[in-house]
Amino acid sequence: MKLRYEASTIHFIQPQLSHVSGGSIYNSEIVKRLEQETIRGKGFFHALNSPVTELIERFNALPASCTFVLDGLYLTIPEFKASVEKFSPYFQQIYLMLHYLESRNIYYSNQEKEALWTSEKLWLKAVNGIIVPSLQMRDYLSSQGIEKDKITVAFPGIEKVQVSRLSDPKKLSEQEPINLITVGTFSQGKGQLDLVQMLAQMQVKNFRLHLIGECEQNASYTEEILAIIERSQMQDWIILHGYLPQQAMFDLFPQCALYLSPSTYESYSMATAEAVAHGLPVLAYATGAITDWIEDGSNGILIEPGKQEQFFKALTRLLTVRNELTQLQTNALAHIANLSFNSWDKTYRDFLQAFNK
């Protein structure tokens, strides 16, 4: 299919984060492919808290024919959101790569969410196009008055693991601990603190939780988690790995019986998708694209966001009724044959379709 935009025009602008996230992995895969096609575009970094004037100066220094793709993470910065009028000369050239929408986090009050959405919506209506990682985010934006035709869905690339490479679930004795795993940058929205508090309340201690994710960025949040672990004397049951390279995380998956996603808001949830692709059953809040790969009661259990008590009860049941967990494991392995995930090359092709509208 012939693209209508001129080559060498796409400039992908993103913040250089101190940690690895699903969004940063996505961006790097897109930029890598843009730069492999050197005539098509390139990526560059612009610090989140740098003055808006610096970014505008950069726009001015580039040819007028350029197309700009901005990481939507800039919309979390008040100065940037308030500068919408300063960018008005460029809106026909600007696309948003929207991995995350701050106003969807349920821990904000309704008034706070409304204020956040009001400023986000100004940008979403003004830009020429929006690229999102899931149908759920597209449909939400459309329901909130954003023109559906300007939204392009480009699912992240997820490596699908062949069933023949995976082992059947190991039948555990009552004395053996059940290995649990969750992955995500430590933050309130990812829910690690809620999960640790749940486990601290449980009478049974027949588990070992592997907490994986960058934990230095939100140091006070991590310290609160560590304090609960120490106070509850769960040092032997909860292992805080910090950030792990992707392959090391994949190597840990086969040792685990259940993936936990305590995050109450996701636009896609790449880490959960990777766990599903590796044959793990999942206990998760039904947010983002998680409902695309989890059939409630078959290869996982889905909980309505905000229903912590239901999450707690489901986790307690899976830790005490081992036959139920074993059945979920068996179903999760069988479910892999029906999964359909993008490759990163397919993601890149979908991404480029945004510029054909």
Place of tokens 């983002």: 288
Selection from 15, 22, 91 nearest residue 56 by Cα = 91
Instruction: Map residue 122 onto helix, strand or coil.
Output: helix
In the chain, CATH 3.40.50.2000 covers 10-157+342-356, 163-338
Listed in order, strand segments (DSSP E) in 204-308 are: 207-212, 238-242, 258-261, 282-285, 300-303
Answer yes or no: are the C-beta atoms of 267 and 288 closer than 8 Å.
yes
| Burial class of residue 261 in the structure, from the number of CB atoms within 10 Å of its CB (0-12 exposed, 13-18 middle, 19+ buried) | buried
Question: Taking the C-alpha atoms of 114, 118, 120 and 123 in order, what is their torsion angle to the nearest 10 degrees?
Answer: 170
* Overall fold of domain 163-338: Rossmann fold (3.40.50)
Rg of the chain in Å (alpha carbons): 21
User: What is the chain's pLDDT, residue by residue, as a tens digit (357 residues)?
Assistant: 333 334 448 999 999 887 788 899 999 999 999 998 766 788 989 998 899 999 999 899 888 888 999 999 999 999 999 999 999 999 999 999 999 999 998 889 999 999 999 999 999 999 999 999 999 999 999 999 999 999 999 999 998 776 656 666 767 667 789 999 999 999 999 999 999 999 999 988 889 999 999 988 889 999 999 999 999 999 999 999 999 998 899 999 999 999 999 999 999 999 999 999 999 999 999 999 999 999 999 999 999 998 999 999 999 999 999 899 999 999 999 998 888 899 999 999 999 999 987
Q: Which CATH superfamily is domain 10-157+342-356 in?
A: Glycogen Phosphorylase B; (3.40.50.2000)
Answer yes or no: are the C-beta atoms of 156 and 270 closer than 8 Å.
yes
Selection from 264, 109, 269 nearest residue 189 by Cα = 264
- The pairing of strands 282-285 and 300-303 is parallel
| DSSP H or E segment with residue 94 | strand 94-97
**Angstrom distance (rounded) from CA 225 to CA 265:** 20
Residue 229 token pair: 């672990």
Cα distance from N-terminal residue to C-terminal residue, the chain: 13
pTM of the model: 0.91
Selection from 194, 220, 223, 219 nearest residue 209 by Cα = 194
